Every structure is written in C-alpha cells, then in structure tokens.
Amino acid sequence: MKSADWTAGNARSNPHTASNSSQAQLPLVADSGFNAVFDSSGEALIVVDRKGLIQQANLRARELLRLKDSSTSHAGLLDFFATPSTVDFSEFTTQADTSSALATRDAMLTTGFPIRITLRAALPGSQSLLLCLEDGSLVQRAERKARQLEAEILSVLDAVEVAIVLFDPTGRLRFSNARFAQYFSLDILQLRKLERFEELESLVAKRFRDPDIFSAPWKMFAAGDGVPRHDELEMTRPSNRVLERFSRPVLDSEGRRIGWLELYSDVTGERDIQSKLLQTEKMAALGQLVSGIAHELNNPLTTIMGYGQLLLGHGLTPSQLSEARKVFEEAERARRIVKNLLYFARENKPERIRVNLNEIVERTLALRSYELRVENIVVECDLAPNLPETMADPHQLQQVVLNLLANAEQALLEDRGQGHVWIRTHRIGGNRISLEVTDDGPGIPTEVGSRIFDPFFTTKPPDVGTGLGLSIVYGIVHQHGGEVTFENQSGVGARFVVELPLVPVQPRDPESKLSRRAEREVDTTRGRILVVEDEPTVAQLMVDVLREEGHQVEAVLDSQEGLTRLSRGTYDLVLCDLRMPRLDGPAFYDTLVRAGSAEHQSIIFVTGDTLAPRTLEFLEANKLPYLSKPFLVEELKLAVNCRLQKTRQTEKTSYSAGATKSRSELGSE
C-alpha cells in the first residue's frame, strides 16, 4: 500500500503520548449542529489543520487511530502512518481545488492496517480540513469489483449490434460502445475520453443532415420533459446512413430519473430494400396501367395507320400525298412509342429468345430521344448492318443499354451540361458480338475505377445516383455469359464495352410473329373471313382492307355473336380480338375447341398487349398466330394469306391421304 506524502511540519509526537494528554482542546468548530452530525456519523471523520495536526476526531476515527479523546494537542496525523514524507498538507487542498475528482491518498498505519484518506471539505472560516478515513482493504476490494463490473459492462456493450450511449442526469458521459464509435467514425479511445454531452455533440451533430435532430432528445430530458421516443436520423458524413434511434430515461427502483439512454441501429439496407419494393410495386402498377392505356391507344392508332396507308395507295395529288404521308409517319411514330413503353414497363420473367441487339439499341434510344435532345446531348450510332441475332433476354438487354446510356448522360450533365455519346455494335470473331457506349465526359477517376461495378457505390450526389446502375449491368451481362469492361479515353470521356456470346437461334416460326418485311411475296388466296372485333373502326378497317384483296368478309362487334355466326356457317379464317368484354379471346377459343369446331384451327388473334405474361402464355401454349396492334396493312394481308395457304395445304394433304386410302381399299376387293 502506498503511504501518504504529508508532514505535520513540527516535531512528531508519540501518538500514544498524545492520546493520554490531559490538556483539553477546544473543538475547532463550535457549531452544535456540525458537532452532532460529526460525532454521530458512521464514517471515520477527522479535522486537521493545514500542517496535519489533529483538531478533532469522532468516535469511529478514534477507534481506527486508537485515540482516547475527541480532540488532541500536538498530535500529527502523519505520526500514525508507517512511512510519512515531507509534503505539506496544503498541497492536498491545492489538488482538490484544481481537480473535479475527490482528493484521496492511500496510506498504511503503524499497525500495518491499510487506510484511505479522502478530503471531504475545507471548513469555512478556518484553515482546517475535514477528512474521511476508510478501511483501505474494503475500498480496494470495492474498486476492484467496480472496475471488473465496468469492464464486463463494456464488453457486453461492445458485443451488441446496436450503438449505445448513456448519460447521467448532469450530462456526464457514462458509457458508450464500439458500435457507436463505428457509426460516427470515431476512435473508441477518443470517444471514451469524452466527459460531457456537449463534447460529444460538437463531434457528432454536424454529421447529420439536420444537426439539431441529434441533440433534441437529450435537451428535452435535461429540461425535464424526456420521454421514450423513436426517430430516424439521416447521416451525410462520413457516409450516407439512415439510423433508427430509440431513446428513453433510465429510472431507478423508485422511479427517479438517473440517466438518459440512446440506442442506434443502422437501417440503411432495410430502407433501400423498402424503397426497391416500393419501386417494384410502382412498376407493377405502371405495367398494368400502361397495358390498359396501350390497348386503348392501339385501337385508334391501328385505324389511323390503316386508313393512312389506304389513302397513300389511292392516287392522291402530290400535296395530298405529302399530307397523308405525314399523318401516317406520325402515327407510326406513336406506335413505336406505345410499344416501347409497354415493352419496358412490363415485369417479365427472365427468358431467352432470339433478339437483335441493334433493334434493342434503337428501341431504347426511342424512349430517351426527347430528354437527350432537351439536355443538348447528341447521340450518334454506328450499328453493324448484318449483326447476327442471338438468344438472350430482350428486357434485360434493354436495361443494360438504358443504364449505360443514363450513366453517360449523368456524367455529361454534371461535367458541362452537354456533350456527345457514341453507340456502336459490331461482331467480334465468329462467336461474339459487342456493344460500345462512349461519351466525351470527365471519365472515371483512377482511384475509384476498381469499384464502379460494386452495388451502391456511386460518385454522384444522393439525389442523382443510387449506385445500382452499373452493378445491374454487370450482373445481367454475366448472367448471359458475357463481359463488361471500361476504359478512359486518351483525351476525355469513358468507354464501356459489353461483349455477349453468340448463341445459336431457334428457327423462326412464320406464324408466331408476322412481319411486314416479308422476304418474298405470297400469292393471294381468297377466302371467307369472319372478323370478331369490339372496336368498330378497327373492325371496319380490316373489312375494307381484306375486301380490296378479294376476300368475302363479315364483321361482328360481339364475341357471342361471332360464335353464333360460326355455328350457322363455315369460314376459312377467323380474325378475333384477344381482349373483349363478356367473352374474351381465350374463352372464345376454348368454346370452339370444346364444340369441336374446325375454325379453332383457322384463327388469328389480334391484340394490343402481346407483352402481357398471360397473353403470351395463352398464345404460345396453344401455338396460335397473332397480329399485334397497331399493325400495318401489309402485315394484315400477309397474316391472312399465310394462314389461308396453310389451311388449304392441310386440306389438300388430308384429301390426298383419304383418296389413297380409298384406292387401296378398292384394290384389295
């Protein structure tokens, strides 16, 4: 045990001699109230002067020092210790005046008993000090237990997954854990050296978007109004985080407020997921909305385009021909916009179908062309004319092109508000195709080049970039067995290169998708045709076009009426809308199949929503040909002629087989 470094400043007297002194000393403090408390205290209290001479001692102190009288003359406190030193007692007071902690000393009595001396007060109106003597062994054991308890508490706090900070009612920082330091990028040792809330506030509050929000709960508690509460805080430095905070007062067993506790959880990932789910729901709702809008727009567009084409073939004057061509071209433009929106907004399952990368690029540019023009960004394309088709997911590849285009667009807008983008496709060797997107923006900083494909990494402001665009590109390309790389141009700008493998395409079904770009003319085959279409103008357009081709055409606006016509007569072909009130296209088809009607094998469906999953499942499961609205006149003619020719060929084959069988039977007889 360390001895006290004090001296009485006079010649030491024997403690036992001092105890037996017959000279009575007047108490230093004459106040009767003080003396009553002093004498009755369970603590060992003693009053000494600045030189360490004992002025007064209570019963517990006398027992500890083995004194017989409550006051003693010429007895120095240091005389009772085993190894006193020469330090003046006034230094004891000086330390107490300059430190917030209690001034204490550990010492050893001459009896070998450890003791701790604590300065309780410098008594007013005198040069005396009130000291408390404690059993040193008990104090040490209590301190060891307190240190052990504090270490255990800190270990538990550091192990939990939430950030914790605890203050006492005066604002003194009692506990904090490593997670709290991690969230706020503080050194844990630095954090635990902080003593008051104000010190922590000066380091932490400025990291939030709204600095006052961090301090608000504590200030309410300090004002006497603190109640349990939940809130969320948005951090902007050193990184973007969303922290959920639970704060509450700490109460003792009697309900008194003895502290203030705050718990922080990082919910950034959860909020990102919630945002994505919300966006997914929005896109699903948008897909349904677009599907309905597309169906409604496709009907008038079909009519406008169809009659526009008919006008163009009716020998108009040059001025009339120019006007009719403008009407048709604008209708064709509207058709592409509607199809692109429908194609992009639909949530589709991953699929592998034959795709043309050039068409995907053109379709994506059509979606962004207006915004790019407004933002003064010029896009130049160099698309390989004979680029082979491959098997891929068209929706995902469109996402790749759109994300790369958006990345270049944002880089240019941040740099100087305008610029150029070049998109190029070409074939690499015999088994790969390539897409390149190049801009003349600022390029990719070298220090972040290795992270640009990481999820949630972005160099853009929070309201501009999410950090997901390029990571989505990377994921989609690798799902297709390809590679995506980037490089900074020698001058300025960045170039992204996507390489995809050429997967052998499946043979194209001539009946699954009918194109106006027929490679050869099909001889017209006349037939009797029934049109089942609930839109009057579209029905009339099909009647007019097909009658010009020499077909016998009837039209009904109700699917039930169509079934009635089919039950009463024979038709070579049925053109039926897929979405109709009362009885829709699939129900119409099922009714024909159940009735054993031959017309279910001679049907072409017309639909304005070929991208809807249920629509595609129905058409592909039954291997049914269809015509997408809005269609061109040539597409309608080609679809009808192909279907009629196949029907006639089937009939001839069946007839020949029957005739051969009959001749064989006759010969056997």
> In the structure, what pLDDT confidence band is assigned to residue 378 with cuts at 50, 70 and 90?
very high
Domain enclosing residue 372, as ranges:
353-502
Domain membership flag for residue 422: yes
Angle at which helix 318-345 crosses helix 268-312, to 10 degrees, equals 160
Q: Is the pLDDT of residue 421 over 80?
A: yes
State the average pLDDT for the chain: 77
Query: 47 with 119, same domain?
Result: yes
User: What value does the mean pLDDT take over residues 75-96?
Assistant: 66
Cis peptide upstream of residue 350 (ω within 30 degrees of 0)? no
What is residue 364's predicted lDDT score, i.e. its pLDDT?
86
- pLDDT tens-digit map of 286-298: 666 766 777 678 8
Query: 170 with 260, same domain?
Result: yes
Rounded CA separation 86/88 (Å): 6
Strand partners, 175: 166
User: What value does the mean pLDDT take over residues 619-628?
Assistant: 86
Q: Are 422 and 438 in contact (CB under 8 A)?
A: yes
Query: 424 with 537, same domain?
Result: no
User: Strand, coil or helix: what is 54?
Assistant: strand
- Region of 66 please: left (phi>0), alpha (psi -120 to 50) or beta: left
DSSP 548: H
What is residue 575's predicted lDDT score, i.e. its pLDDT?
94
Handedness of CA 631, 634, 640, 643 (dihedral sign): negative
> What are the b/e assignments for 406-434, b being 16+ CB within 10 Å?
ebbbbbbbebeeebebbbbbeeeeeebbb
The CATH code of the domain that includes 384 is 3.30.565.10
Amino acid at 336: R
Domain boundary among 266, 299, 332: 266
Domain membership flag for residue 522: no
Amino acid at 70: S
Burial class (CB in 10 A: 0-12, 13-18, 19+), 68: exposed
Which helix (DSSP H) or strand (DSSP E) does residue 150 occupy? Answer: helix 136-159
Q: Are 71 and 57 in contact (CB under 8 A)?
A: yes
Q: Are 555 and 543 in contact (CB under 8 A)?
A: yes
Query: 430 with 560, same domain?
Result: no
Query: 536 with 602, same domain?
Result: yes
Domain membership flag for residue 441: yes
Domain membership flag for residue 299: no
Query: 199 with 118, same domain?
Result: no
Cis peptide upstream of residue 510 (ω within 30 degrees of 0)? no
Domain membership flag for residue 153: no
Out of 12-16, 175-179, 491-495, pick the least confident.
12-16
**Numbers of helices and strands, H then E, in the chain:** 19, 22
Contact partners, residue 202, CB within 8 Å, separation at least 6: none
Strand partners, 242: 234
Out of 178-192, 550-564, 619-633, pick the least confident.
178-192
User: What value does the mean pLDDT take over residues 378-401?
Assistant: 89
| Assigned token pair, 28 | 């230093």
In terms of Cα–Cα distance, which of 275, 192, 319 is closest to 462? 275
Rounded CA separation 57/55 (Å): 7
Domain membership flag for residue 666: no
The CATH code of the domain that includes 633 is 3.40.50.2300
Query: 173 with 108, same domain?
Result: no
Residue 172 has φ and ψ, to the nearest 5°, of: -75, 135
- Strand 432-439 and strand 390-392: the pairing is unpaired
Q: How many domains, the chain?
A: 4
Q: What is the DSSP string of 61-95?
A: HHHHHT-SSSS-SS-BGGGGBSS----BTHHHHHH
Q: Are 340 and 366 in contact (CB under 8 A)?
A: yes
Cis peptide upstream of residue 630 (ω within 30 degrees of 0)? yes
User: Strand, coil or helix: what is 162?
Assistant: coil
Amino acid at 465: G
Domain membership flag for residue 393: yes
Query: 481 with 431, same domain?
Result: yes
> In the structure, what pLDDT confidence band is assigned to residue 72 with cuts at 50, 70 and 90?
low
Measure the CA angle with vertex 461, ends 458 and 466; round to 5°. 45
Query: 605 with 536, same domain?
Result: yes
- For tokens 């597409």, the residue is 635
Q: Are 666 and 531 in contact (CB under 8 A)?
A: no
DSSP 204: H
Out of 177-186, 380-389, 445-454, pick the least confident.
445-454
DSSP 505: P
Domain boundary among 453, 487, 502: 502
What is residue 20's predicted lDDT score, i.e. its pLDDT?
38
Query: 128 with 164, same domain?
Result: no
Rounded CA separation 470/402 (Å): 11
Q: Are 482 and 501 in contact (CB under 8 A)?
A: yes
Q: Is the pLDDT of residue 514 over 50?
A: no
Handedness of CA 662, 663, 667, 668 (dihedral sign): negative
What is residue 664's predicted lDDT score, i.e. its pLDDT?
45
- pLDDT tens-digit map of 127-177: 788 888 887 666 666 667 767 777 777 777 777 778 888 888 888 888 788
What is residue 202's predicted lDDT score, i.e. its pLDDT?
81
Between 9 and 265, the higher pLDDT residue: 265
Domain boundary among 266, 292, 310: 266
| Assigned token pair, 88 | 């003046």
What is residue 150's predicted lDDT score, i.e. its pLDDT?
72
In terms of Cα–Cα distance, which of 514, 482, 487 is closest to 498? 482
The CATH code of the domain that includes 55 is 3.30.450.20
Rounded CA separation 363/118 (Å): 85
Query: 79 with 202, same domain?
Result: no
Query: 137 with 205, same domain?
Result: no
Rounded CA separation 87/503 (Å): 93
Domain membership flag for residue 149: no
- pLDDT tens-digit map of 443-469: 877 766 666 776 656 666 544 454 567
Q: Are 12 and 94 in contact (CB under 8 A)?
A: no
> What are the b/e assignments for 335-354, b being 16+ CB within 10 Å?
bebbbbbbbbbbeeeeeeee
Amino acid at 252: D
- Region of 464 please: left (phi>0), alpha (psi -120 to 50) or beta: alpha
CB-CB neighbours of 608 under 10 Å: 29
